[in-house]
Amino acid sequence: MAVQTTARELVARAEARVCILSPAEVAERLDEAGTLLVDLRDVRERQREGVIPGALHVPRGMLEFWIDPDSPYHKPALSEAHALILHCNKGWRSALAAATLLDMGCNNVAHMAGGFDRWRREIGRVGPA
């Protein structure tokens, strides 16, 4: 099946709309009250590569359902946070997810450029899954 819009184009469109933070900026904001770091990677990625300590694991496929208070899958930690910072492995899924949350009316949402890979290179603070 041919696509009219590539995945990279979708990510670029999302990044034109969302707040993008470097790993250093994310590290600074993690101590702010009400800020929640959200790890969108799947369980296998987390087990293989480790995690950023304190990040809440939200599988990418469940984000919209876990944040929606009307959903039977709602997770209060997401709606109680003042600010959400999303990350995945490379920063692509988190850009798309942040744009989706904007579409849902969430305001204080950002995503981490370069994802977990860049965090590991630049910050290095990684724990076991």
pLDDT digits (tens, 9 = 90+) for 83-116: 999 999 999 999 999 999 999 999 999 999 999 9
Which pLDDT does position 88 carry in this prediction?
98
Domains of the chain, residue spans: 7-121
Element holding 83 (H helix, E strand): strand 83-87
What's the sign of the alpha-carbon dihedral 97, 99, 100, 101?
Answer: positive
pLDDT at 35: 98
Report d(CA 41, CA 54) in Å as an integer.
Answer: 14
Given a contact cutoff of 8 angstroms between Cβ atoms, the answer to whether 24 and 123 are in contact is: yes
In one-letter notation, the amino acid at residue 51 is V
Model pLDDT for residues 37-90, shown as the tens digit of each residue: 999 999 999 999 999 999 999 999 999 999 999 999 999 999 999 999 999 999
DSSP string over 23-72: HHHHHHHTTSTTEEEEE-S-HHHHHHH-B-TTPEE--GGGHHHHH-TTST
CATH fold, domain 7-121, is Oxidized Rhodanese; domain 1 (3.40.250)
